[in-house]
Amino acid sequence: MRILISSQASKRYPWQLNGKEGGKMKVERVLAVGAHPDDVELGCGGTLALYRRMGADVVISSVSCGGKGSKELSKEETIKVRREESERAAGVIGATYICLGLMDSEIFEDLKNRAKMVELIRKVRPNLIITHSPSDYHADHRTTSVLVSHASYIATSFKFKTQSPSLPWVPPVYYMDNYLGVDFLPEEYVDITDVVDTKKEMVLQHKSQFPHLKERSGEDILEDMLILARLRGRQSGVKFAEGFRFFHSWPHVRTYRLLP
């Protein structure tokens, strides 16, 4: 079924021309932005796997290169390892990986980094963006959330110049769950029961982080991911789920569901 909208609206929201499928708008391109390598896979890997099944293009981006993510390796070696792991994780679902190249714990909401995020959004031209919640535990996560939410609107400005042309629409932004669900009440759930093994495979590509995080803070990121997926599944009546909140800001708001 085709949706008839005004020519003026179609210029600002061109993806609406794809029409609805089962009460949801068809999403053709998704950008998922995490502060660090592995953040996206942990937060919304199942949802991204479902988007790929639906035929959407998926781009996974980390703001930082993960250069401080090893006690034994040098910064340069760690960056190389973490890029390779991120590319393999994206490859599990046939997604593309882009790193913005900042350093861990050095992500700030300034003009230079805002321009980097605006350029990323303009380059990818997503119909939908997923990123961190502004209440997540890590300062890099919270700053990334602010960078993305600000840049998603600024990307439409003709006067804010980057290498790519301005975006002719404002992409809606969803916040993925906080680590272990702390201080996060989902507004929408995605059933990932059929793709939870795919999500596990994506997370397992980041093998350098398992001993590093276990020694540093006692984290078992795979087990923690499954605990949260079971909790969100229990809340929503399925076996495994991912939870999301929407960035409630004009003109990001929509009257229809965009998540799978």
pLDDT bracket for residue 254 (50, 70, 90): confident
Identify whether 125 is part of a domain. yes
Identify whether 5 is part of a domain. no
Domain that holds residue 79: 20-246
Residues of the chain above pLDDT 90, percent: 80
Burial profile 129-154: b = 16 or more Cβ within 10 angstroms, e = fewer: bbbbbbebebebbbbbbbbbbebbbb
Identify whether 167 is part of a domain. yes
Q: Is the pLDDT of residue 29 over 50?
A: yes
Identify whether 253 is part of a domain. no
Taking only the tens place, the pLDDT of each residue in 166-199 is: 999 999 999 999 999 999 999 999 999 999 999 9
Cα 248 to its chain centre, rounded Å, is: 17
Q: How many domains does the chain have?
A: 1
Cα 242 to its chain centre, rounded Å, is: 12
pTM for the structure as a whole: 0.90
Identify whether 48 is part of a domain. yes
Q: Quick one: CA torsion of 96, 101, 107, 111, rounded to 10 degrees?
A: -100
Among 71, 183, 82, 90, CA closest to 138: 183
The CATH number of whichever domain residue 154 belongs to comes to 3.40.50.10320
Identify whether 210 is part of a domain. yes
Identify whether 15 is part of a domain. no
Q: Is the pLDDT of residue 12 over 70?
A: no
Identify whether 4 is part of a domain. no
Q: Is the pLDDT of residue 62 over 70?
A: yes
Taking only the tens place, the pLDDT of each residue in 98-122 is: 999 999 999 999 999 999 999 999 9
Taking only the tens place, the pLDDT of each residue in 84-101 is: 999 999 999 999 999 999
